[in-house]
Structures are given as C-alpha cells and as structure tokens.
C-alpha cells in the first residue's frame, strides 16, 4: 500500500468518527494501523486479548482495547522524510504556570526530605490552539522528525484523540523472553551525546533500574542488566539501561504489567506514596499521559533459516506471541480545538526547582514546535 492510500484510509476512518490507531515503532521502516469496524468501546482486564491497548496513568482505571478481530490492519513503507512546518512557537507558558510548577516541585522536595518518598515525577500541561482536522498532518510531522521514537496517533470518538513520540518501552515480550528499560535523567542535546551526568540524574536513573529489577525478580527465571548509556530522543539526552531475561511460564502479561506500571520514571518511589502525592497536588487529571499503549498478543511467524537457498529449513517456521508496550510520554491530547501538551520530570532531594522548570520547557518543545 502506498503512503497516500494509507493516509487516505486513515482520513476516511477519522471523518466517519470510527476508532483507529496508526503508529511506527522506533527505527522501523513500516507504519502500521488498526481500523476498528464500529465505534464500540472495548476494554481488556486480563490482557489475554489480541490487539492494541491504550491504558491510563491510574492503573485502577480500565484499559481501552482495539480487538484484532474487529480491526482492519494496514501498513505502508515510511517514506515521510520531510513535512513543511510553520515557524517554531515561542515559549508560551504563562508566568503562573511557571510559578505553580516551581511551588509544586518545592513541595515535592520538602516531602522527600521528610521521608514521605524518595522520588516523585511531577508534570505540567500546556495548551495551544489546534484544530482536530490537522491531526494527521501533525502525525506526519512526528513521523518525519522522530525516527527513533514510537510515534503514534490514537483516536476513539468516546475517549479522545492523542498523538505522541515516546522514547520509552514499558515492556516487550516474545514468547517467554522479555525486554524492558529504565530511562531517566534529561539534558538538552547540543551537537554531542558525550556529556557529563550529575549525581542527581545518576541517582534518578538508579532508582528506576533498581525498582524494575526488584519488581521483576520473583516473576523471572533469569534477568540481565545492561550497561547504562546515553541515548538521544529528539533534542534531548537521557540515561538508558536495558533490562532483559526469561519470564517464568506461570506469569501472564497482566502480572508483569501490574508490577511495572507506573514505573518510577513516570510516578516515583515508593510507587503508591508518590502516586497519591501526584493525584492530590498536581492539580489536573493526567488521563492517558504516563499511561502505556501498544500491541498485545500478536502472532508473528519466524523462519529458522534466513538463507533463501535453504528452502527446506524455511518450511519450519516458529510462531511466537509478541507484545510491545510503550510509556505514553512526549504526548498531547487534542480537545476543544486545543492541543494539551503534557510534560514532566523526576524530582529527587537534589532537584533545583528552577532547573526542573527549564526541563519542562525543553521537553514541551518536542511536539510544540511541530504544531
């Protein structure tokens, strides 16, 4: 399917107010889509369904499912390398937004010093004028700009319209093998990824890694922690550690998700104490921001031998069940002719409120400059 035909079908689906998701995984060359055949709202509780899930920050709320059996699946080659963009927006945060966020961070640091929790992730929402009819154009801009991110456009008439370009995997499973990551610490990218990280960022990264490893240990038969390195996401740099291993056969997808979500990278540590602070003090409902989304229980066939001349061995294909979930970061919601842009940062005892605000502004530009 050509890119033009692909986007024409998305546009037709959207104009009929029918649910769809279109997405491209990091560093892949194919854009995929699932188009639901009616506007029914489906949910999953046990994560045993096949399809595409969209789950909120509050893990006690329900996860929306686009069931594979109710969807037309499309794909096309990603040949979108450039899209015309308007002049970049100026920093449009209000003075009150800055003041409120700095006060929120100060309150968070105060609670950390009291011993209420070790880390908390605090966020802000910024609003820009934006027409819903421009959503697919924005999706193209995200695809052209963020090749190493999970770029998506998700729509359900009974839930809303969300887009984003997230650098963070929550969980990938292939059969009984799993892969996850800890991603924390942020600084601007200025021509090189060879940078010095301060103790605050290193400590924040270690919090996330330790939480993931300790949470998963009872559910895995082996676990491997990779080296921590610096990764680039758009115009930002982060600390990144790969964590992989083998799941115990009795553990289903839901059990692992429950242990991971929400991670300290989007919530804090200890998880429940940080979460209650966020809900009480942040001053708005995150909805699907810092939730997770992606494919669950899709069947993928793999041949044993990639040598085409060895036709006999190619007949022995293995079918594995694949799930690939991403944390909903660097995202926005389109609502009432506005784009609600969500951004946050991890707060520890060493955080400096003014610098935390500067990080919020830098992260917001990931998508704001494309509006």
User: What is this structure's pTM?
Assistant: 0.90
DSSP string, 140-184: HHHHHH-TTSEEEEEEETTTEEEEEEE--EEEEEETTEEEEEEEE
pLDDT in tens, the chain (371 residues): 999 999 999 999 999 999 999 999 999 999 999 999 999 999 999 999 999 999 999 999 999 999 999 999 999 999 988 776 654 555 567 788 899 999 999 999 999 999 999 999 999 999 999 999 999 999 999 999 999 999 999 999 999 999 999 989 999 999 999 999 988 888 888 888 889 998 888 888 888 899 899 999 999 999 999 999 998 887 788 899 999 999 998 888 999 999 999 988 899 999 999 999 999 999 999 999 999 999 999 998 876 655 555 555 555 678 899 999 999 999 999 999 999 999 999 999 989 999 999 989 988 887 788 88
Instruction: Write out the two tokens for 184.
Output: 């924390």
Judged on CB neighbours under 10 Å (0-12, 13-18, 19+), 244 is: middle
Amino acid 288: pLDDT: 98
Please tell me the predicted confidence (pLDDT) of residue 90. Answer: 55
Token digits for 98? 């800055």
CA distance 103 to 357: 10
- List phi, psi (to 5°) of 133: -65, -15
Alpha helices in 282-350 (DSSP H): 311-314
In angstroms, rounded to a whole number, what is the distance separating the alpha carbons of residues 240 and 231? 6
Rounded Cα gap, residues 40 and 311, in angstroms: 44
Exposed, middle or buried, 66 (CB in 10 Å: 0-12/13-18/19+)?
buried
CB 124 within 8 A of CB 95: no
Q: Smallest Cα–Cα separation from 332: which of 296, 368, 284, 369?
A: 368
Ramachandran assignment for 79, one of left (phi > 0), alpha (psi -120 to 50 degrees), beta (any other): alpha
Rounded Cα–Cα distance for residues 221 and 80 (Å): 42
Burial of 332 (0-12, 13-18, 19+ CB in 10 A): buried
Tell me the angle at which helices 253-260 and 199-216 cross, rounded to the nearest 10 degrees: 150
What kind and span of H or E run contains 12?
helix 3-15
Partners of 163 in the β-ladder: 153, 332
Q: Tally Cβ neighbours within 10 Å of residue 109.
A: 20
3-state DSSP assignment of residue 352? coil
Separation of alpha carbons 136 and 142, rounded Å: 10
Helix spans in 16-145 (H): 95-114, 135-145
Report the b/e string of 121-135 with b at 16+ CB within 10 A: bbbbbbbeebeeeeb
Q: Are 149 and 219 in contact (CB under 8 A)?
A: no
For 176-211, letters b (16+ CB in 10 Å) and e give eebbbbbbbbbbebeeeeeeebeebbebbbbbbbeb
What is d(CA 43, CA 20) in angstroms, rounded to the nearest whole number? 15
Which residue carries 């003075």 as its tokens? 95
> How far is Cα 62 from Cα 68, in angstroms, rounded to an integer?
18
């Amino acid at each position: 399917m050509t890119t033009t035909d692909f986007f024409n079908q998305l546009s037709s689906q959207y104009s009929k107010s029918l649910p769809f998701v279109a997405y491209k995984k990091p560093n892949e060359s194919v854009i995929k889509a699932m188009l639901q055949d009616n506007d029914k709202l489906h949910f999953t509780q046990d994560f045993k369904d096949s399809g595409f899930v969209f789950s909120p920050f509050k893990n006690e709320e329900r996860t929306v499912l686009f069931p594979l059996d109710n969807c037309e699946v499309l794909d096309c080659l990603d040949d979108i390398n450039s899209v015309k963009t308007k002049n970049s927006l100026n920093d449009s945060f209000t003075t009150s937004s800055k003041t409120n966020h700095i006060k929120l961070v100060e309150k968070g640091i105060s609670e950390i010093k009291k011993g209420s929790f070790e880390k908390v992730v605090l966020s802000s929402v910024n609003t820009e004028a934006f027409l819903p009819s421009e959503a697919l154009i924005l999706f193209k801009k995200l695809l052209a700009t963020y090749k190493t991110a999970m770029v998506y456009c998700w729509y359900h008439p009974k839930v809303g319209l969300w887009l984003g370009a997230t650098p963070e995997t929550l969980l990938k499973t292939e059969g009984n093998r799993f892969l996850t990551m800890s991603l924390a610490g942020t600084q601007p990218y200025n021509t090189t990824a060879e940078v010095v990280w301060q103790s605050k960022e290193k400590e924040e990264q270690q919090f996330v890694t330790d939480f993931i490893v300790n949470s998963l240990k009872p559910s895995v038969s082996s676990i491997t922690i990779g080296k921590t390195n610096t990764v680039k996401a758009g115009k930002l740099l982060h600390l990144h550690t790969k964590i992989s291993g083998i799941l115990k056969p009795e553990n289903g997808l839901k059990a692992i998700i429950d242990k991971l979500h929400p991670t300290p990278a989007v919530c804090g540590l200890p998880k429940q104490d940080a979460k209650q602070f966020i809900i009480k003090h942040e001053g708005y409902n995150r909805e699907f921001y810092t939730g997770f989304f992606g494919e669950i229980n899709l069947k993928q066939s793999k041949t044993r031998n990639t040598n085409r001349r060895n036709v006999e061995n190619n007949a022995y294909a293995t079918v594995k069940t694949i799930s690939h979930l991403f944390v909903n970061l660097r995202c926005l919601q389109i609502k009432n002719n506005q784009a609600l842009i969500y951004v946050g940062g991890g707060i520890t005892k060493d955080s400096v409120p003014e610098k935390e605000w500067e990080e919020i502004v830098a992260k917001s530009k990931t998508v704001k400059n494309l509006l």
